[in-house]
Each structure stands twice: as structure tokens, then as C-alpha cells.
Chain A
Amino acid sequence: GNSVTQMEGPVTLSEEAFLTINCTYTATGYPSLFWYVQYPGEGLQLLLKATKADDKGSNKGFEATYRKETTSFHLEKGSVQVSDSAVYFCALSRSNDYKLSFGAGTTVTVRA
């Protein structure tokens, strides 16, 4: 079946530090890959996505590249801010499906 494994947290960083959250997946076919973010007190929202191999999704300074050879979709940001403190979820959906399969989430805290 489909599954997503992401780096366990919590992760604590200082402002302007570099952030990486690892995500690997198992799926048949060619899934689409997503990063969702949940800010404190808010609902899940899409951060970025990539629909085919070698695509790079980007938004709000975050980037992730769809690597089929390593079945990975790692999230990166070069300089984090306090406002990036949130829970980040990696997810996938298969090309002929619509359900999202989520990882367990990684809690990120950025300190001033």
C-alpha cells in the first residue's frame, strides 16, 4: 500500500537557521507528493506540491523536489522565521486515486 515516512520531531531551530525535514514514500505507480502545514490553532493548508519526477514545488521560501530514484520529497527552507513554527505533514496521492496518505507530522519550533 501507500505510505509516507517523515522525520520525527520535534525540531527546534534558531531564527535564520536552515531547515530540512526528510520525507520518503512507498507507492505503486507515480504518485503526486504534497507538503501540508498546520499553524497553531489553524487547519491544515497546502504548502507545496509536485506531480511528477524531478518537479520542484516551492512556496513561502520552502522547496521540495520529487526524487523518484530515492523515493523522497524532502522539505527545505534556507532561513526560517519564528512564524514558520508549525506542524509539517508530508503526503501523497496516487495518480488514479484521490485519497491523501499522510506522514505522522513533524513539529518545528523556531526561536527568536
Chain B
Amino acid sequence: GAGVSQSPRYKVAKRGQDVALRCDPISGHVSLFWYQQALGQGPEFLTYFQNEAQLDKSGLPSDRFFAERPEGSVSTLKIQRTQQEDSAVYLCASSRRDRGSTDTQYFGPGTRLTVL
């Protein structure tokens, strides 16, 4: 079946603009994760959803970052008033079950955000 998809694949924003990044997880997957990957670094956890409930947002770097998953499937990561330090690849991942450290997370291709 289809994997995790993300759109847009590339986004260029001027400093101060708002952006919205979309994630379509694998159908039926309960868990959804967002990660931020800076150039040359490994992904860093941002937030976690179990169905529509956002159970962990401890990794969001500031209150300019907001994520939602209103119907328990598609998720949107919104960044308000973008700053240059927000430039990164934003990765979405989903897994079949709820919290379980051994459950495989399937990653999307990412959205590369460049803030000028």
C-alpha cells in the first residue's frame, strides 16, 4: 500500500511568513510523529499524536510551532512567523499501534523548508 506522504516537498518562505506542512500517514496507523532534521544532523522529535490526541509536544521549539490531527489521519504542522533557524527538513512518521517502543515508524520523504 501507499507509504507516508508529505506535501509540499519543498517550501521557501520569507522571514515572518506562516507555513503549513501536511502529512498523510499510512492508512489505519494510530500513531503519528513529527521530527525536525537540521542539515547534517539526525532527526529531532517534535510532537506525537495517538489518533487525534496530541499526547506529547515537548519537542516543539517555540510557541510559533503548532500541530494538529483533527480526524486522526492527516496531520498539519504549522509554523507562524518563520525565522531563519526554522530552516530544516520536517519529517513525518507513522506507526501501526499506539505507544510501543518496538513498533516500526515509517517515515515520509520530508518537507525541506528554507526561510530567507
Chain A contacts to B: CB under 8 angstroms? 4, 31-32, 36, 42-46, 49, 51, 89, 91, 93-105
Decide if A98 touches B31 in the complex (CB within 8 Å).
yes
State the CA gap A91–B40 with chains docked (Å).
15
The 8 residue pairs across chains A and B that have the minimum distance between CB atoms: A102-B42, A44-B107, A93-B101, A99-B45, A43-B109, A32-B101, A43-B107, A98-B99
- Is B1 an interface residue when CB atoms closer than 8 A count as contact? no
Contact residues in B for A31 (Cβ distance below 8 Å): 101
Decide if A46 touches B101 in the complex (CB within 8 Å).
no
Most chain B beta-carbon contacts within 10 A, residue among A43, A51, A89, A93:
A43
Given contacts A44-B43, A89-B42, A103-B42, is CB(A98)–CB(B107) below 8 Å?
no
Min CB distance A49 to B, Å, is 7
Min CB distance A30 to B, Å, is 9
Contact residues in B for A102 (Cβ distance below 8 Å): 42-44
Tell me the total A-B contact number using a CB cutoff of 8 A.
64
State the CA gap A95–B59 with chains docked (Å).
19
Q: Is the interface of B mostly helix, strand, loop or mixed?
A: loop
5 A-B pairs within 8 Å (CB atoms) are namely A31-B101, A43-B108, A44-B107, A97-B99, A100-B33
Interface string of B75-86 (1 = CB under 8 A from A): 000000000000
Min CB distance A24 to B, Å, is 14
Interface string of B29-63 (1 = CB under 8 A from A): 00101010000111111001000000010010000
Given A46-B106, A99-B59, 7 extra CB contacts under 8 A: A44-B43, A51-B101, A97-B101, A98-B33, A98-B95, A99-B33, A104-B40
Contact residues in B for A49 (Cβ distance below 8 Å): 102, 104
- Is B110 an interface residue when CB atoms closer than 8 A count as contact? yes
